[in-house]
Amino acid sequence: MSTSGLGGLNKSPNGIVIGLVQLQNPNVATTSELAAQTARIVEMVGKARRNNPAMDLVVFPEYSLHGLSMSIDDAIMCELEGPEVAAFKSACVEHRIWGCFSIMERNPRGNPYNSGLIINDHGEIKLYYRKLHPWVPVEPWEPGDIGVPVCVGPKGAMLSLIICHDGMFPEMAREAAYKGAEVIIRTAGYTAPIRHAWKITNQSNAFQNLAQTASVCLCGSDGAFDSMGEGMFCDFDGTVMIEGSHRPDEIITCEMRPDLVREARVNWGVENNIYQLGHRGYVAVKGGAQDCPYTFMHDMVRGEYRLPWEKEVRVTDGASCGFPAPEREYGA
């Protein structure tokens, strides 16, 4: 089993050191506040590099740029070619470090996207993701439409990014791992009521997929909302390697070992669940059953996903959180 290498201070030849920033929850409502928060994140990239010279990747939580206001004001929305992303790219180049960042992305065809970026130490966007599962009924963001991408990260580690509520769906981490992700990053803006679910899903997402997970929330109060911080790293057997506190702007670090993930995925027999999902009962039948016995999967493909209690579900739009019921259908 791998260890944290004392938070990455003792870095192995095969390890990558990841830093999770429990960034202070900001309050951003104007373009000047957006610019100031961009500068703050850039400053924290520098802190991460000074914090640990061996760090390969620094991860900022969801909403680290925009805060938790849920504002869709076009004036403070971002674009991939905009000044905020340009500043993040420059910071990664200046400090010779990879970075994972959060933006609320302008969408001329509807509500903004909640997007995440992984930028390498040459200032290139290596992963671009739009949150597939906005946290309904609270969040107004357009459902993501570009799937669950993976990228080759530092030292060849396969990385993926899922955002906050995404991680509550086992299908999300499974999709990331199925496409090769060895380290699944999860960024969030969660508040304290979600604490227990946050922990157990970070652990189960790791164990069910023989993956390592690196997850972090915003931290502290913006005067209205209290985020919980609680960054955590989980090993591929589901154990917690490193766990953060509730201290804003703390950077917790851990050495991740994608090489040991690869080893487990190839050599484990008992509980190699991501393989065994598609090879049921291979002791009894050659290669295992490779059918799809799951009704919900067939129904979803046909666009007919319906729960037995579907007609009884009471919250089906954002009206309870002050958003008007939408009339536009997905993809229109």
In a domain, residue 220? The reply is: yes
Count: domains in the chain = 1
> Does the residue 295 lie in any domain?
no
Type of residue found at 306: R
Instruction: State the average pLDDT for the chain.
Output: 96
Edge-to-edge strands, sheet with 212-217: 150-152, 158-163, 183-188, 212-217, 232-234, 240-243
Q: What is the pTM of this model?
A: 0.96
* Model confidence band, residue 181 (pLDDT cutoffs 50, 70, 90): very high
- Between 14 and 332, whose confidence is greater? 14
State the average pLDDT over residues 283-301: 98
Whether the Cβ atoms of residue 99 and residue 60 lie closer than 8 Å to each other: yes
Kindly report, residue by residue over 122-136, the tens digit of the pLDDT. Answer: 999 999 999 999 999
**Of 25, 1, 40, 45, which is closest to residue 216 (Cα–Cα)?**
25
For residue 169, being part of any structural domain is answered with: yes
- 34 with 67: CB under 8 angstroms? no
Phi/psi at 275 (5° precision) = -75, -45
Q: CATH number for the domain including 210?
A: 3.60.110.10
Taking each helix axis from N to C terminus, what angle separates 195-209 and 170-178, rounded to the nearest 10 degrees?
30
- Active-site pick, 89, 131, 139, 255: 131
Residue 256: closest CA among 171, 178, 153, 168: 153
Q: Is residue 213 part of a domain?
A: yes
Q: Concatenated DSSP letters for 178-222?
A: HTT-SEEEEEE--BGGGHHHHHHHHHHHHHHHT-EEEEEE-EEE-
pLDDT of 1 reads 42
| pLDDT for 3 | 66
Separation between Cα atoms, residue 143 and residue 161, nearest integer Å = 15
Percent of the chain with pLDDT over 70: 99
Active site residue 312: no
Domain range enclosing 44: 5-276
Of these residues, 62, 84, 139, 255, which one is catalytic? 62
Q: What percent of the chain has pLDDT over 90?
A: 92
Contact 111, 142 (CB under 8 A): yes
Phi, psi torsion values for 301, nearest 5 degrees:
-60, -35
Q: Which amino acid is present at 226?
A: D
Residue 77 scores a pLDDT above 70: yes
pLDDT tier, 276 (very low <50, low <70, confident <90, very high otherwise): very high
84 classed as catalytic: no
Residue 32: inside a domain, yes or no? yes
Does residue 234 lie within any of the structural domains?
Answer: yes
CA atoms within 13 A on the CB side of 193: 1
Q: Tell me which of 78, 92, 100, 164 is the catalytic residue.
A: 164
Catalytic, 219? Answer no
The dihedrals phi and psi of 271, each to the nearest 5 degrees, come to 65, 25
Alpha helices per DSSP H over 52-132: 83-94
Instruction: Look at residue 6 in the predicted model and tell me its pLDDT.
Output: 80
* 2 pLDDT higher than 50: no
Interacting residues of 304 by C-beta distance below 8 A, sequence separation 6+: none
List the structure tokens of 136: 């309904």
